[in-house]
Structure 1
Amino acid sequence: MIEPDTGTPPDAADRALALLRECGAQDMAHPGGTLLAHLRRVHDRLALWQARPALRLAGLCHAFYGTDGFPGALLPVTRRAELAAVIGAEAESIVYLYASCDREATYPDLARTDAPFHDRFTGGTHVPGARSRRDFAELSAANELDLARLDPAFRERWGPDLLALFTRLRALLSTEAWLDCRAVLAEPAP
């Protein structure tokens, strides 16, 4: 159970965890253990950064539709309404934005307020608002930092690129997220 002091509504978090288990997240291998363990750590990292409840729930559920970097989906995007019924429309829209990102096409210009966001599911583009861009950047940082913390080879291989990305996105990150990025990606590995 997600601890109540994280600020995430316990009933929504509990329902999300139940759906994750029903979809087999606890059995899917992922760096650092299982996908479920990773999702919980991302949620908890967002809680430490004092993210709002919808973003924390999105962190817990960010891999439901797979991602550009993790293709295994727990639910097809045709079942978005089912996830929204569990975690709420706002959190689900963050999950979709995160999962739909064509990273290669989107990342280079993401910091620009007028830059298009490329949807890998539809092939279309749109320009997300400021809050959506901040949510995307914060969730991206929480996700990547979890991997970098647990896997020295990942940090060695991808750390410089991730630090460059999050430096470009600095204006979109909370102070807590930025400090964590610097601590994990810019400091020498322990």
Structure 2
Amino acid sequence: MPVIGDCLGDDDPTAIGAEDLLLSWGAARIDHPGGTLFDHLLRVRDLLARWRADSVLQVAGLCHAVYGTDGFAPHLVDLSRRCEVATMVGADVETLVYRYASCDRAWVYPRLSAASQVEFRDRFTGRVQPVRGRELREFMELTAANELDLARHNPTFAAEVGPRLHALFARTRPLLSAVAWQDCAATLRP
């Protein structure tokens, strides 16, 4: 698997055109609660923007499913194209997108807490490594934005999974921005 830092020169590109890339990769042709995968990706990005996330996290929200996720198998590009994705959207964005896609949720979610570090298992490689600080907070904000959009557009999902998600976000509350937590509490009220 490529090391993303090796893919780029000194100048990290901007994410201009990320929406066009997603469309060219077929995001508007994949069904998803609330419309298409493209619709979902736009809503996740917009929610992160409302939460005042930085631009890197917002673009990661827009691209978070390009490799699929542990909860959504369809993918837009193969992992063998990580360097290409990093070149197109920036290494920082691609790193967040890969972390989100690679999360072994059944293994990681029970370990998540208010602690500033968690052992994180990559579902693609099986590798376990610590995720801490800003990286962990970004992962949690992206997770919250994704899950809230799903809950808002899929009542069955909200009823079945909402209470567990509320418990997850309650115990990781210090890792979420105040506005993200308020949205979680309001949307996923047990």
Do these two structures clear the TM 0.5 threshold for a shared fold by scoring above it? Answer: yes
Whose helix fraction is larger, Structure 1's or Structure 2's? 1
| Alignment deviations for residues 77-111 of structure 1 (CA, whole Å, 9 cap, x no partner) | 11111111121111110000000000000111122
Q: How many residues align?
A: 177
| Cα distance change, pair 12–38 in 1 and its aligned pair in 2 (3 A) | farther
Work out which structure has the larger RCO, using CA pairs closer than 8 Å and 6 or more positions apart in sequence: 2
| Cα distance change, pair 114–46 in 1 and its aligned pair in 2 (3 A) | closer
1:17 maps to amino acid: E
Task: Report % sequence identity.
Answer: 52
Equivalent-residue separation in structure 2 for 1:113 and 1:177 (angstroms): 18
Equivalent-residue separation in structure 1 for 2:139 and 2:33 (angstroms): 21
Partner of 1:151: 154
Contact 2:44 2:146 in 1 (8 A): yes
Contact 2:118 2:132 in 1 (8 A): no
Alpha-carbon offset, residue 63 of structure 1: 0.1
1:1-190 paired onto structure 2 within 5 Å: 12-111=14-113, 112-186=115-189
Equivalent-residue separation in structure 2 for 1:54 and 1:109 (angstroms): 26
Equivalent-residue separation in structure 1 for 2:158 and 2:139 (angstroms): 21
Partner of 1:4: none
Alpha-carbon offset, residue 129 of structure 1: 2.4
Segment of structure 1 superposing worse, 133-142 or 108-117? 108-117
Once superposed, what is the RMSD of the aligned Cα atoms? Answer: 1.4
Unaligned runs of 5+ in 2: 1-12
| Cα distance change, pair 185–31 in 1 and its aligned pair in 2 (3 A) | same
Alpha-carbon offset, residue 14 of structure 1: 4.4
Alpha-carbon offset, residue 152 of structure 1: 1.5
Equivalent-residue separation in structure 2 for 1:183 and 1:52 (angstroms): 23
Contact 1:148 1:184 in 2 (8 A): yes
Tell me the TM-score normalized by structure 1: 0.89
Contact 1:31 1:151 in 2 (8 A): yes
Tell me the TM-score normalized by structure 2: 0.89
Alpha-carbon offset, residue 113 of structure 1: 3.3
Equivalent-residue separation in structure 2 for 1:72 and 1:62 (angstroms): 12
Contact 1:110 1:117 in 2 (8 A): no
Segment of structure 1 superposing worse, 13-22 or 162-171? 13-22
Alpha-carbon offset, residue 28 of structure 1: 0.2
2:140 maps to amino acid: A
Q: Secondary structure at the match of 1:115?
A: strand
Alpha-carbon offset, residue 125 of structure 1: 0.6
Unaligned runs of 5+ in 1: 1-10
